[in-house]
Amino acid sequence: MLAPGQPPDRRVHQRRRRAVEVEHLKLLRTLALVTLLAFSVACSRSAPAPTRPTPSSLTGKIGAATYAIEVPSGWNGTLFLYSHGYVAPGSANGAQAAPSGDARTWLLGHHFAIAGSSYSSTGWALEDAFKDQIALLDFFGSHLGKPRRVIAWGASLGGIVTAGLVQLHPGRFAAAMPLCGVLAGGIATWNAELDAAYAFKTLLAPGSALQLVHISDPDANRQLAGQLLNAAAATPQGKARLALVAALIDLPGWFDPRLPEPADTEYAARVLAQIDWESRVDFNVAFSYRKEVEQRAGGNPSWNQGVDYGGLLAGSPDRPEVQALYSQAGLNLQTDVRALNAGATIKAEPTAAAYLDRFISFDGGLGVPVLSMHTTGDGLVIPPNETAYAQVVGVAGRQELLRQVFVHRAGHCTFTTAETIAAVQVLLQRLDTGRWDDAALEPAMLNATALAQGATANQFFGFALNPSFVTFKPPPYPRPFAKGSPIPT
Protein backbone atom coordinates (compact mmCIF):
# COMPACT_ATOMS: atom_id res chain seq x y z
CA MET A 1 0.00 0.00 0.00
CA LEU A 2 1.77 3.11 0.96
CA ALA A 3 5.29 3.22 1.02
CA PRO A 4 8.31 1.47 0.88
CA GLY A 5 13.09 0.32 8.67
CA GLN A 6 13.53 3.81 7.20
CA PRO A 7 11.20 6.59 6.53
CA PRO A 8 8.75 5.91 3.77
CA ASP A 9 8.78 7.81 0.76
CA ARG A 10 7.86 10.99 -0.55
CA ARG A 11 6.59 8.78 -2.96
CA VAL A 12 9.33 8.89 -4.17
CA HIS A 13 10.83 9.31 -7.29
CA GLN A 14 14.14 10.95 -7.03
CA ARG A 15 17.37 10.96 -5.19
CA ARG A 16 16.13 13.61 -2.80
CA ARG A 17 13.10 11.53 -2.00
CA ARG A 18 13.86 11.31 1.62
CA ALA A 19 11.58 8.64 2.64
CA VAL A 20 10.15 6.12 0.42
CA GLU A 21 7.94 3.58 1.72
CA VAL A 22 10.43 2.00 3.80
CA GLU A 23 12.25 -1.23 3.12
CA HIS A 24 11.82 -1.25 -0.62
CA LEU A 25 13.81 1.96 -0.71
CA LYS A 26 16.41 0.17 1.40
CA LEU A 27 16.75 -2.54 -1.20
CA LEU A 28 16.76 -0.07 -4.06
CA ARG A 29 19.63 1.77 -2.42
CA THR A 30 21.54 -1.49 -2.33
CA LEU A 31 20.87 -1.82 -6.03
CA ALA A 32 21.83 1.79 -6.63
CA LEU A 33 18.22 2.48 -7.47
CA VAL A 34 17.80 5.14 -4.89
CA THR A 35 14.28 6.19 -5.58
CA LEU A 36 10.98 4.82 -6.57
CA LEU A 37 10.09 7.05 -9.44
CA ALA A 38 13.07 8.22 -11.35
CA PHE A 39 13.02 10.92 -13.87
CA SER A 40 16.71 10.62 -14.49
CA VAL A 41 17.21 13.10 -17.29
CA ALA A 42 15.36 15.73 -19.25
CA CYS A 43 13.99 14.45 -22.52
CA SER A 44 12.20 16.02 -25.43
CA ARG A 45 9.21 14.88 -27.40
CA SER A 46 11.47 13.40 -30.00
CA ALA A 47 13.60 15.96 -31.69
CA PRO A 48 15.14 19.10 -30.26
CA ALA A 49 16.00 19.37 -26.60
CA PRO A 50 13.88 21.87 -24.69
CA THR A 51 15.25 25.32 -24.22
CA ARG A 52 16.86 25.90 -20.84
CA PRO A 53 14.12 27.38 -18.66
CA THR A 54 14.44 30.65 -16.83
CA PRO A 55 11.54 30.18 -14.43
CA SER A 56 10.03 32.51 -11.92
CA SER A 57 10.01 30.66 -8.62
CA LEU A 58 7.82 31.18 -5.59
CA THR A 59 7.98 29.41 -2.26
CA GLY A 60 6.13 30.11 0.95
CA LYS A 61 3.37 28.92 3.23
CA ILE A 62 -0.40 28.85 3.06
CA GLY A 63 -1.54 28.03 6.55
CA ALA A 64 0.53 25.09 7.78
CA ALA A 65 1.48 23.90 4.29
CA THR A 66 4.52 25.04 2.36
CA TYR A 67 4.34 25.38 -1.41
CA ALA A 68 6.62 25.53 -4.43
CA ILE A 69 5.71 27.16 -7.74
CA GLU A 70 7.73 27.63 -10.91
CA VAL A 71 6.57 29.42 -14.04
CA PRO A 72 8.82 29.42 -17.13
CA SER A 73 9.34 32.31 -19.46
CA GLY A 74 6.92 31.89 -22.32
CA TRP A 75 4.46 29.97 -20.14
CA ASN A 76 1.93 28.21 -22.35
CA GLY A 77 -0.93 28.55 -19.85
CA THR A 78 -0.94 24.93 -18.62
CA LEU A 79 -0.16 24.16 -14.99
CA PHE A 80 0.86 20.71 -13.70
CA LEU A 81 -0.24 20.43 -10.06
CA TYR A 82 1.81 17.71 -8.41
CA SER A 83 0.69 15.68 -5.36
CA HIS A 84 3.52 13.96 -3.52
CA GLY A 85 3.41 10.54 -1.90
CA TYR A 86 3.23 9.24 1.64
CA VAL A 87 5.50 10.84 4.23
CA ALA A 88 5.89 8.95 7.50
CA PRO A 89 4.84 10.79 10.65
CA GLY A 90 7.78 12.76 11.98
CA SER A 91 9.65 12.84 8.67
CA ALA A 92 10.68 15.98 6.83
CA ASN A 93 7.81 17.33 4.76
CA GLY A 94 8.80 19.87 2.15
CA ALA A 95 6.83 21.03 -0.86
CA GLN A 96 7.40 19.42 -4.25
CA ALA A 97 6.37 20.87 -7.56
CA ALA A 98 7.42 17.83 -9.59
CA PRO A 99 8.42 14.24 -8.90
CA SER A 100 12.09 14.93 -9.68
CA GLY A 101 14.52 17.47 -10.97
CA ASP A 102 14.50 15.92 -14.42
CA ALA A 103 10.72 16.01 -14.65
CA ARG A 104 10.90 19.64 -13.60
CA THR A 105 13.41 20.39 -16.36
CA TRP A 106 11.32 18.70 -19.04
CA LEU A 107 8.11 20.45 -18.05
CA LEU A 108 9.61 23.91 -17.66
CA GLY A 109 11.58 23.44 -20.87
CA HIS A 110 8.32 22.78 -22.68
CA HIS A 111 6.79 25.90 -21.10
CA PHE A 112 4.54 24.23 -18.54
CA ALA A 113 4.20 25.75 -15.08
CA ILE A 114 4.53 23.46 -12.07
CA ALA A 115 3.35 23.66 -8.47
CA GLY A 116 2.88 21.50 -5.42
CA SER A 117 2.01 21.67 -1.73
CA SER A 118 3.68 19.87 1.16
CA TYR A 119 0.24 19.30 2.75
CA SER A 120 -0.31 20.48 6.31
CA SER A 121 0.49 17.10 7.85
CA THR A 122 2.20 13.78 7.19
CA GLY A 123 0.82 10.24 7.08
CA TRP A 124 -2.57 9.52 5.50
CA ALA A 125 -2.93 13.23 4.88
CA LEU A 126 -5.68 13.17 2.27
CA GLU A 127 -8.03 15.55 4.04
CA ASP A 128 -5.26 18.14 4.27
CA ALA A 129 -3.95 17.38 0.79
CA PHE A 130 -7.27 18.14 -0.89
CA LYS A 131 -7.63 21.40 1.00
CA ASP A 132 -4.03 22.49 0.57
CA GLN A 133 -3.78 21.73 -3.14
CA ILE A 134 -6.94 23.71 -3.88
CA ALA A 135 -5.65 26.56 -1.71
CA LEU A 136 -2.45 26.52 -3.74
CA LEU A 137 -4.41 26.55 -6.98
CA ASP A 138 -6.34 29.58 -5.74
CA PHE A 139 -3.08 31.28 -4.73
CA PHE A 140 -1.56 30.60 -8.15
CA GLY A 141 -4.55 32.15 -9.90
CA SER A 142 -4.58 35.28 -7.77
CA HIS A 143 -0.82 35.91 -7.88
CA LEU A 144 0.33 34.58 -11.25
CA GLY A 145 -2.78 34.50 -13.39
CA LYS A 146 -5.46 31.92 -13.94
CA PRO A 147 -4.13 28.91 -15.86
CA ARG A 148 -5.75 28.05 -19.16
CA ARG A 149 -5.86 24.45 -17.96
CA VAL A 150 -4.65 22.52 -14.92
CA ILE A 151 -3.44 18.91 -15.02
CA ALA A 152 -3.46 17.09 -11.69
CA TRP A 153 -0.83 14.43 -11.29
CA GLY A 154 0.88 12.59 -8.49
CA ALA A 155 2.45 9.30 -7.50
CA SER A 156 1.51 6.59 -5.00
CA LEU A 157 -0.40 8.34 -2.20
CA GLY A 158 -0.22 11.33 -4.54
CA GLY A 159 -2.09 9.19 -7.05
CA ILE A 160 -5.08 8.83 -4.74
CA VAL A 161 -4.84 12.56 -4.00
CA THR A 162 -4.87 13.23 -7.74
CA ALA A 163 -7.92 11.05 -8.35
CA GLY A 164 -9.59 12.58 -5.31
CA LEU A 165 -9.01 16.12 -6.51
CA VAL A 166 -10.76 15.52 -9.82
CA GLN A 167 -13.62 13.71 -8.06
CA LEU A 168 -14.14 16.46 -5.50
CA HIS A 169 -13.32 19.46 -7.72
CA PRO A 170 -13.85 18.42 -11.35
CA GLY A 171 -14.38 21.99 -12.49
CA ARG A 172 -10.87 22.99 -11.46
CA PHE A 173 -9.00 20.50 -13.63
CA ALA A 174 -8.67 19.65 -17.31
CA ALA A 175 -7.19 16.17 -16.81
CA ALA A 176 -5.47 13.90 -14.33
CA MET A 177 -2.58 11.43 -14.34
CA PRO A 178 -2.30 9.19 -11.26
CA LEU A 179 0.98 7.29 -11.24
CA CYS A 180 1.12 4.01 -9.28
CA GLY A 181 -1.90 5.35 -7.42
CA VAL A 182 -3.87 3.97 -4.49
CA LEU A 183 -6.96 3.94 -6.68
CA ALA A 184 -8.94 1.30 -4.80
CA GLY A 185 -9.53 4.00 -2.19
CA GLY A 186 -8.91 4.22 1.52
CA ILE A 187 -11.33 1.64 2.88
CA ALA A 188 -10.32 -1.08 0.41
CA THR A 189 -6.63 -0.38 0.95
CA TRP A 190 -6.73 -0.59 4.72
CA ASN A 191 -9.03 -3.63 4.64
CA ALA A 192 -6.42 -5.39 2.50
CA GLU A 193 -3.70 -4.49 4.97
CA LEU A 194 -5.86 -5.91 7.75
CA ASP A 195 -6.41 -9.13 5.80
CA ALA A 196 -2.66 -9.66 5.44
CA ALA A 197 -1.93 -8.81 9.06
CA TYR A 198 -4.78 -10.98 10.34
CA ALA A 199 -3.77 -14.00 8.26
CA PHE A 200 -0.15 -13.63 9.34
CA LYS A 201 -0.95 -13.52 13.05
CA THR A 202 -3.61 -16.24 12.91
CA LEU A 203 -1.46 -18.75 11.04
CA LEU A 204 2.05 -17.90 12.20
CA ALA A 205 1.87 -16.06 15.53
CA PRO A 206 -1.48 -16.77 17.20
CA GLY A 207 -0.13 -16.47 20.74
CA SER A 208 2.00 -13.39 20.12
CA ALA A 209 1.44 -9.85 21.36
CA LEU A 210 1.18 -8.60 17.77
CA GLN A 211 -1.55 -5.95 17.44
CA LEU A 212 -3.75 -5.78 14.35
CA VAL A 213 -5.79 -2.70 15.28
CA HIS A 214 -5.58 -0.11 18.05
CA ILE A 215 -1.80 -0.34 17.86
CA SER A 216 -0.22 1.17 20.97
CA ASP A 217 3.48 1.23 19.98
CA PRO A 218 3.89 1.12 16.19
CA ASP A 219 7.67 0.75 16.19
CA ALA A 220 7.63 -2.15 18.64
CA ASN A 221 4.74 -3.76 16.77
CA ARG A 222 6.57 -3.54 13.46
CA GLN A 223 9.75 -4.97 14.99
CA LEU A 224 7.84 -7.89 16.47
CA ALA A 225 6.21 -8.59 13.11
CA GLY A 226 9.63 -8.62 11.47
CA GLN A 227 11.03 -11.07 14.01
CA LEU A 228 8.08 -13.39 13.58
CA LEU A 229 8.29 -13.20 9.80
CA ASN A 230 12.02 -14.01 9.78
CA ALA A 231 11.38 -17.09 11.89
CA ALA A 232 8.55 -18.21 9.62
CA ALA A 233 10.56 -17.68 6.44
CA ALA A 234 13.18 -20.16 7.67
CA THR A 235 10.87 -23.18 7.33
CA PRO A 236 8.90 -24.72 4.44
CA GLN A 237 5.72 -24.51 6.52
CA GLY A 238 6.31 -20.83 7.24
CA LYS A 239 7.03 -20.05 3.60
CA ALA A 240 3.82 -21.77 2.52
CA ARG A 241 1.79 -19.72 4.97
CA LEU A 242 3.55 -16.51 3.97
CA ALA A 243 2.61 -17.34 0.38
CA LEU A 244 -1.02 -17.60 1.50
CA VAL A 245 -0.77 -14.22 3.23
CA ALA A 246 0.61 -12.77 -0.01
CA ALA A 247 -2.06 -14.40 -2.17
CA LEU A 248 -4.89 -12.91 -0.11
CA ILE A 249 -3.77 -9.40 -1.14
CA ASP A 250 -2.24 -10.31 -4.54
CA LEU A 251 1.39 -9.48 -3.78
CA PRO A 252 3.48 -10.09 -6.90
CA GLY A 253 6.14 -12.78 -6.99
CA TRP A 254 8.65 -10.30 -8.36
CA PHE A 255 10.62 -7.77 -6.33
CA ASP A 256 13.88 -6.77 -8.02
CA PRO A 257 13.39 -4.54 -11.11
CA ARG A 258 16.83 -5.51 -12.42
CA LEU A 259 15.80 -9.14 -12.81
CA PRO A 260 13.30 -10.83 -15.12
CA GLU A 261 10.00 -11.88 -13.65
CA PRO A 262 10.00 -15.47 -12.36
CA ALA A 263 7.76 -17.77 -14.35
CA ASP A 264 4.33 -18.48 -12.91
CA THR A 265 5.47 -21.96 -11.87
CA GLU A 266 8.77 -20.86 -10.27
CA TYR A 267 7.16 -21.04 -6.87
CA ALA A 268 10.37 -21.02 -4.82
CA ALA A 269 11.51 -17.76 -6.44
CA ARG A 270 8.09 -16.18 -6.32
CA VAL A 271 7.52 -16.81 -2.61
CA LEU A 272 10.93 -15.31 -1.79
CA ALA A 273 9.94 -12.17 -3.69
CA GLN A 274 6.61 -12.05 -1.86
CA ILE A 275 8.41 -12.39 1.47
CA ASP A 276 10.60 -9.45 0.44
CA TRP A 277 7.49 -7.36 -0.19
CA GLU A 278 6.03 -8.41 3.15
CA SER A 279 9.14 -7.89 5.23
CA ARG A 280 10.57 -4.81 3.53
CA VAL A 281 7.44 -2.91 2.61
CA ASP A 282 3.93 -4.00 3.43
CA PHE A 283 4.33 -5.03 7.05
CA ASN A 284 5.48 -1.49 7.85
CA VAL A 285 2.09 -0.31 6.68
CA ALA A 286 0.03 -3.03 8.31
CA PHE A 287 1.74 -3.13 11.68
CA SER A 288 2.98 0.45 12.12
CA TYR A 289 1.40 3.12 9.92
CA ARG A 290 -2.09 1.93 10.78
CA LYS A 291 -1.79 3.73 14.11
CA GLU A 292 -1.61 7.12 12.38
CA VAL A 293 -4.70 6.34 10.30
CA GLU A 294 -6.63 5.29 13.39
CA GLN A 295 -5.67 8.52 15.15
CA ARG A 296 -6.89 10.54 12.16
CA ALA A 297 -10.09 8.58 11.74
CA GLY A 298 -10.94 8.43 15.42
CA GLY A 299 -10.76 4.65 15.68
CA ASN A 300 -10.34 1.51 13.62
CA PRO A 301 -11.78 1.97 10.08
CA SER A 302 -11.23 -1.64 8.91
CA TRP A 303 -13.12 -4.90 9.27
CA ASN A 304 -12.94 -8.57 8.38
CA GLN A 305 -16.08 -9.87 10.07
CA GLY A 306 -17.70 -12.37 7.74
CA VAL A 307 -14.91 -12.33 5.15
CA ASP A 308 -14.59 -15.58 3.20
CA TYR A 309 -10.84 -16.08 2.99
CA GLY A 310 -11.33 -19.20 0.92
CA GLY A 311 -13.11 -17.05 -1.62
CA LEU A 312 -10.27 -14.52 -1.64
CA LEU A 313 -7.78 -17.31 -2.25
CA ALA A 314 -9.92 -18.82 -5.00
CA GLY A 315 -9.86 -15.48 -6.82
CA SER A 316 -6.12 -14.97 -6.46
CA PRO A 317 -3.79 -15.68 -9.39
CA ASP A 318 -1.36 -17.06 -6.79
CA ARG A 319 -3.62 -19.92 -5.73
CA PRO A 320 -1.60 -22.61 -7.60
CA GLU A 321 1.57 -21.40 -5.88
CA VAL A 322 -0.06 -21.62 -2.46
CA GLN A 323 -1.43 -25.09 -3.16
CA ALA A 324 1.96 -26.35 -4.33
CA LEU A 325 3.87 -24.92 -1.38
CA TYR A 326 1.33 -26.27 1.12
CA SER A 327 1.64 -29.70 -0.45
CA GLN A 328 5.44 -29.59 -0.32
CA ALA A 329 5.32 -28.50 3.34
CA GLY A 330 2.87 -31.24 4.32
CA LEU A 331 0.21 -28.76 5.43
CA ASN A 332 -3.55 -28.90 4.98
CA LEU A 333 -4.61 -25.73 3.19
CA GLN A 334 -8.30 -26.12 3.95
CA THR A 335 -7.57 -26.42 7.66
CA ASP A 336 -5.81 -23.04 7.59
CA VAL A 337 -8.57 -21.44 5.52
CA ARG A 338 -11.17 -22.67 8.00
CA ALA A 339 -9.13 -21.20 10.84
CA LEU A 340 -9.05 -17.83 9.06
CA ASN A 341 -12.79 -17.83 8.46
CA ALA A 342 -13.56 -18.88 12.03
CA GLY A 343 -11.60 -16.04 13.60
CA ALA A 344 -12.67 -13.24 11.27
CA THR A 345 -14.53 -11.10 13.81
CA ILE A 346 -12.90 -7.65 13.64
CA LYS A 347 -15.42 -4.83 13.27
CA ALA A 348 -14.83 -1.28 12.10
CA GLU A 349 -15.86 1.66 14.20
CA PRO A 350 -18.54 3.33 12.05
CA THR A 351 -17.33 6.90 12.47
CA ALA A 352 -13.78 5.88 11.60
CA ALA A 353 -14.88 3.95 8.52
CA ALA A 354 -17.01 6.91 7.45
CA TYR A 355 -13.94 9.14 7.73
CA LEU A 356 -11.91 6.86 5.50
CA ASP A 357 -14.79 6.71 3.03
CA ARG A 358 -14.72 10.51 2.82
CA PHE A 359 -10.93 10.56 2.44
CA ILE A 360 -11.46 8.78 0.14
CA SER A 361 -13.45 6.17 -1.76
CA PHE A 362 -14.25 6.57 -5.44
CA ASP A 363 -17.60 6.86 -7.19
CA GLY A 364 -16.30 6.66 -10.77
CA GLY A 365 -18.10 9.81 -11.91
CA LEU A 366 -15.23 11.23 -13.93
CA GLY A 367 -15.66 14.67 -15.39
CA VAL A 368 -12.24 14.96 -17.05
CA PRO A 369 -9.89 12.62 -18.92
CA VAL A 370 -7.75 10.43 -16.66
CA LEU A 371 -4.68 8.45 -17.74
CA SER A 372 -3.25 6.17 -15.07
CA MET A 373 0.02 4.25 -15.16
CA HIS A 374 1.21 1.29 -13.07
CA THR A 375 4.00 -1.25 -13.00
CA THR A 376 2.86 -4.86 -13.20
CA GLY A 377 5.12 -5.96 -10.33
CA ASP A 378 4.11 -3.41 -7.69
CA GLY A 379 3.72 -4.98 -4.26
CA LEU A 380 3.19 -1.75 -2.36
CA VAL A 381 0.24 -0.41 -4.37
CA ILE A 382 -0.87 -3.57 -6.13
CA PRO A 383 -1.94 -3.41 -9.81
CA PRO A 384 -5.52 -4.50 -8.92
CA ASN A 385 -5.96 -0.91 -7.71
CA GLU A 386 -6.39 -0.12 -11.40
CA THR A 387 -9.09 -2.77 -11.73
CA ALA A 388 -11.01 -1.36 -8.78
CA TYR A 389 -10.89 2.14 -10.26
CA ALA A 390 -11.90 0.99 -13.72
CA GLN A 391 -14.85 -0.91 -12.23
CA VAL A 392 -16.37 2.12 -10.50
CA VAL A 393 -15.75 4.27 -13.55
CA GLY A 394 -17.49 1.67 -15.72
CA VAL A 395 -20.47 1.43 -13.38
CA ALA A 396 -20.77 5.22 -13.54
CA GLY A 397 -20.76 5.03 -17.34
CA ARG A 398 -17.65 7.20 -17.68
CA GLN A 399 -15.24 4.62 -19.07
CA GLU A 400 -14.57 6.66 -22.20
CA LEU A 401 -12.74 9.21 -20.06
CA LEU A 402 -10.36 6.65 -18.56
CA ARG A 403 -7.29 5.01 -20.06
CA GLN A 404 -4.80 2.84 -18.17
CA VAL A 405 -1.29 1.84 -19.22
CA PHE A 406 1.11 -0.65 -17.65
CA VAL A 407 4.86 -1.11 -17.54
CA HIS A 408 6.16 -4.67 -17.15
CA ARG A 409 8.59 -4.20 -14.29
CA ALA A 410 8.98 -5.03 -10.62
CA GLY A 411 8.86 -2.25 -8.06
CA HIS A 412 6.71 0.61 -6.95
CA CYS A 413 6.66 3.54 -9.38
CA THR A 414 9.78 2.23 -11.14
CA PHE A 415 9.13 4.04 -14.41
CA THR A 416 11.92 5.51 -16.50
CA THR A 417 11.85 9.14 -17.51
CA ALA A 418 11.13 8.13 -21.07
CA GLU A 419 8.14 5.97 -20.12
CA THR A 420 6.61 8.68 -17.97
CA ILE A 421 7.04 11.39 -20.57
CA ALA A 422 5.61 9.12 -23.27
CA ALA A 423 2.44 8.81 -21.20
CA VAL A 424 2.35 12.54 -20.43
CA GLN A 425 2.45 13.27 -24.15
CA VAL A 426 -0.55 11.04 -24.82
CA LEU A 427 -2.54 12.86 -22.15
CA LEU A 428 -1.57 16.23 -23.59
CA GLN A 429 -2.65 15.03 -27.03
CA ARG A 430 -6.02 14.02 -25.55
CA LEU A 431 -6.48 17.55 -24.25
CA ASP A 432 -5.35 19.17 -27.49
CA THR A 433 -7.56 17.06 -29.78
CA GLY A 434 -10.52 16.23 -27.55
CA ARG A 435 -10.16 12.49 -28.11
CA TRP A 436 -7.91 9.62 -27.10
CA ASP A 437 -5.43 8.45 -29.71
CA ASP A 438 -5.83 4.76 -28.93
CA ALA A 439 -3.13 3.86 -31.43
CA ALA A 440 -0.68 6.02 -29.48
CA LEU A 441 -1.70 4.14 -26.32
CA GLU A 442 -0.73 0.75 -27.75
CA PRO A 443 2.32 -0.67 -25.97
CA ALA A 444 4.38 -0.84 -29.16
CA MET A 445 3.77 2.83 -29.90
CA LEU A 446 4.41 3.93 -26.31
CA ASN A 447 7.63 1.92 -26.31
CA ALA A 448 8.71 3.49 -29.59
CA THR A 449 7.94 6.95 -28.24
CA ALA A 450 9.91 6.23 -25.09
CA LEU A 451 12.82 4.73 -27.01
CA ALA A 452 13.02 7.86 -29.14
CA GLN A 453 13.87 9.88 -26.03
CA GLY A 454 17.37 8.40 -26.12
CA ALA A 455 19.51 6.12 -23.99
CA THR A 456 19.92 8.50 -21.08
CA ALA A 457 16.19 8.75 -20.55
CA ASN A 458 15.77 4.98 -20.74
CA GLN A 459 17.55 4.11 -17.54
CA PHE A 460 16.83 3.84 -13.88
CA PHE A 461 19.68 5.50 -12.03
CA GLY A 462 22.40 4.17 -14.24
CA PHE A 463 20.77 0.83 -14.98
CA ALA A 464 19.71 0.67 -18.62
CA LEU A 465 16.14 -0.47 -19.20
CA ASN A 466 14.24 -1.08 -22.39
CA PRO A 467 10.86 0.63 -22.57
CA SER A 468 8.46 -1.95 -21.21
CA PHE A 469 4.87 -0.92 -21.80
CA VAL A 470 2.76 -4.06 -22.09
CA THR A 471 -0.81 -5.17 -22.57
CA PHE A 472 -1.89 -6.23 -19.10
CA LYS A 473 -5.14 -6.88 -17.29
CA PRO A 474 -4.76 -6.90 -13.51
CA PRO A 475 -6.88 -9.31 -11.49
CA PRO A 476 -9.81 -8.02 -9.46
CA TYR A 477 -9.05 -6.17 -6.25
CA PRO A 478 -9.44 -8.64 -3.36
CA ARG A 479 -12.04 -6.65 -1.42
CA PRO A 480 -13.09 -3.57 -3.43
CA PHE A 481 -15.16 -0.81 -1.89
CA ALA A 482 -16.98 1.74 -4.02
CA LYS A 483 -18.15 4.98 -2.48
CA GLY A 484 -21.60 4.56 -1.00
CA SER A 485 -21.22 0.84 -0.33
CA PRO A 486 -22.55 -0.34 3.04
CA ILE A 487 -20.16 -0.49 5.97
CA PRO A 488 -20.90 -3.53 8.17
CA THR A 489 -21.78 -2.77 11.76
- pLDDT band at residue 7, thresholds of 50, 70 and 90? very low
Residue 225 reports pLDDT greater than 80: yes
Amino acid identity at 326: Y
CA separation, residue 151 to residues 57, 143, 427, 431 (Å): 19, 19, 9, 10
pLDDT at 54: 58
Stated as kind and residue range, the H or E segment containing 370 is: strand 370-377
Residues 6+ apart with CB under 8 A from 438: 403
Q: Which of 54, 150, 153 is nearest to 103 (CA)?
A: 153
What region does 404 belong to: left with phi over 0, alpha with psi -120 to 50, or beta? beta
What is the model's pTM? Answer: 0.90
> Of 103, 321, 358, 346, whose CA–CA distance to 201 is shortest?
346
C-alpha distance from residue 257 to each of 17, 127, 322, 362 (Å): 18, 33, 23, 30
Section 61-76 average pLDDT: 98
- Range with the lowest mean pLDDT among 55-59, 66-70, 446-450? 55-59
**What's the pLDDT score for residue 47?**
30
Q: With contact defined as beta carbons under 8 Å apart, do 169 and 210 qualify?
A: no
Tell me if 257 sits within 8 A of 414, measured CB to CB.
Answer: yes
Domain positions in the chain: 23-183+361-470, 186-355
Rounded CA separation 77/83 (Å): 19
Per-residue pLDDT band for 489 (boundaries 50, 70, 90) equals confident
| Cα gap 277→236, rounded to integer Å | 18
Q: Are 88 and 289 in contact (CB under 8 A)?
A: yes
pLDDT at 219 over 70: yes
Q: How far apart are CA 222 and CA 215, in angstroms?
A: 10
Give the CATH superfamily of 23-183+361-470: Alpha/Beta hydrolase fold, catalytic domain (3.40.50.1820)
Share of the chain residues as helix, strand and coil, in percent rounded to the nearest 5: 40, 10, 45
- Who contacts 102 (Cβ-Cβ below 8 Å, separation ≥6)? 14, 39, 40, 41, 42, 43, 417
Tens of pLDDT, residue by residue over 450-473, are: 999 888 889 887 889 999 999 999
**Mean residue pLDDT across the chain:** 90
Q: How confident is the model at residue 101 (pLDDT cuts 50, 70, 90)?
A: confident
